[in-house]
Structure formats: C-alpha cells, structure tokens
C-alpha cells in the first residue's frame, strides 16, 4: 500500500512538473516570438542599477534596444519606467533617462516615470499617456506579461522588443514569470473607463 501511495505521489509530482515546464515554454515562446510594430512610444522597463547610479547589464541591454527603436524611427518617444531602489535610493528611471540623453536622445523625446514600481503600475502610467501604440522593451521572459499588462490597462496596438543577448540566470526569471503572469490575470483590474 505504501509503495502504491509513493507511486501515485511520484506520478502527481511528475505531472505537475510537466505542466510547469509546458507553461514556461508557452511564456518563453510568447516572448521570443515578439515582433516590433511602429508605434508612438517605446516603454523601457526598469531593473537594477549600481550604487553609483550606473545601469547594470540587463538594464543597459534594454536601453540599447530602446535606443535602436528610436534611432530607426520605429517610435517617436521613449518612456523610461522604474522604481526608486530601496537599498541604494537610486532612481532607475532618472538614470535611464540620463543614459539615453548621453547617447543622443533629446530630453523632449523622453518621458520619465519614477513610480513604475512594478509591471502593472508601469502599464497604468503608460495608459495615462494614451499613446498611439506602444512597444514594450524588456528581456524576452518578461515580454508576454508586459504586453498583457499594457493591453489590460487599456493601451492599444502593443508589441514587444527584447535584447538579443541571453544570460543563464534568465531561466530562473522565466520560472518567476510563469508564476507572475497567472497572478496578474487573476488579480489586476483595469482602470474604469467612465472616470468613476
């Protein structure tokens, strides 16, 4: 009887693992198949910076991707959205804006959102700008949730772009995204359209 119970438990565990791997594959595929459509705005999602206020590699990759979209005239405006980091008190969005300006983007083409503490808040702030289309710029594993969040917040014509570089730790972030996306779908409520 104990042996049978052990086999059942193992079978259930294997089934859960297969479902999780399958769902991670869906999230990954949703990201890597992203394609860029010309839009008014690219939204560069923030991530970690150093204590000295320098973008870490993942953020630099996002900034380079957004810069290329602007240079190639796929977008007219770059929105940088990030948090003020709790440990080093660095403002991700301001640092991103300074980086873009140092690489030739005029301040008039940059919208700074220092209240983008998470993907959903960034999506709401983008919706407030009412852009004529938006391209989310993040790593491949985050694209599917970022696109979903913008659409759910009311932004139309959303597409995605991601850096071509791959780093092994991104597989862990893929797992996190596989959990975060269903949580978003179940918990995030779009803003009221009637002003109520």
Element (H, E) at 160: strand 158-161
User: SS3 letters for 91-145?
Assistant: EHHHHHHHHHHHCCCCHHHEEEECCCCCHHHHHHHHHHHCCCCEEEECCHHHHHH
Rounded Cα distance between 85 and 178, Å, is: 24
pLDDT of residue 195: 47
Q: Assess contact for 162 and 139: CB atoms under 8 A.
A: yes
Stated pTM of the model: 0.88
pLDDT of residue 113: 98
* Domain contains 193: no
Place 7 in a pLDDT band, splitting at 50, 70 and 90.
low
On the question of pLDDT at 85 being above 50, the answer is yes
SS3 call for 49: strand
State which residues form the domain around 126: 2-187
* Domain contains 124: yes
The pLDDT of 39-55, averaged and rounded, is 96
Dihedrals φ, ψ of 39, to 5°?
A: -150, 170
pLDDT of residue 23: 76
- The residues with which 43 forms a beta bridge, in sequence order, are 79, 136
CATH number at residue 39: 3.40.50.620
Percentage of the residues of the chain whose pLDDT score is greater than 90: 69
* Domain contains 84: yes
* Domain contains 192: no
Scan for tokens 């014509």, then name that residue.
157
Tokens encoding 178: 């596989």
pLDDT of residue 187: 94
* Domain contains 42: yes
Dihedrals φ, ψ of 91, to 5°?
A: -90, 105
Q: What is the DSSP string of 18-30?
A: HHHHHHHHHHHHH
Q: Assess contact for 66 and 78: CB atoms under 8 A.
A: yes
* Domain contains 103: yes
pLDDT of residue 106: 98
- The number of domains in the chain is 1
**Measuring CA to CA, how many Å separate 102 from each of 83, 85, 91, 107, 121?**
21, 22, 17, 10, 27
Place 47 in a pLDDT band, splitting at 50, 70 and 90.
very high
């Amino acid at each position: 009887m104990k042996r049978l119970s052990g086999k059942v438990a193992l079978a259930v565990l294997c089934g859960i693992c297969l479902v999780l791997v399958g769902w991670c594959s869906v999230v990954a595929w949703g990201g890597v198949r992203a394609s860029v459509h010309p839009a008014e705005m690219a939204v560069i999602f923030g991530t970690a910076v150093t204590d000295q206020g320098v973008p870490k590699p993942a953020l630099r990759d996002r900034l380079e991707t957004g810069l290329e979209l602007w240079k190639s005239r796929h977008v007219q405006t770059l929105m940088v959205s990030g948090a003020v980091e709790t440990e080093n008190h660095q403002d991700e969005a301001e640092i991103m804006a300074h980086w873009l300006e140092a690489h030739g983007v005029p301040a008039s083409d940059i919208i700074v959102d220092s209240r983008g503490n998470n993907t959903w808040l960034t999506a709401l702030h983008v919706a407030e700008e009412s852009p004529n289309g938006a391209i989310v710029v993040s790593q491949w594993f985050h694209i599917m949730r970022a696109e979903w969040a913008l659409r759910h917040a009311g932004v139309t014509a959303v597409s995605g772009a991601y850096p071509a570089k791959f780093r092994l730790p991104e597989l862990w972030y893929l797992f996190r995204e596989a959990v975060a996306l269903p949580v978003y779908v179940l918990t995030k409520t779009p803003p009221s359209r009637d002003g109520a």
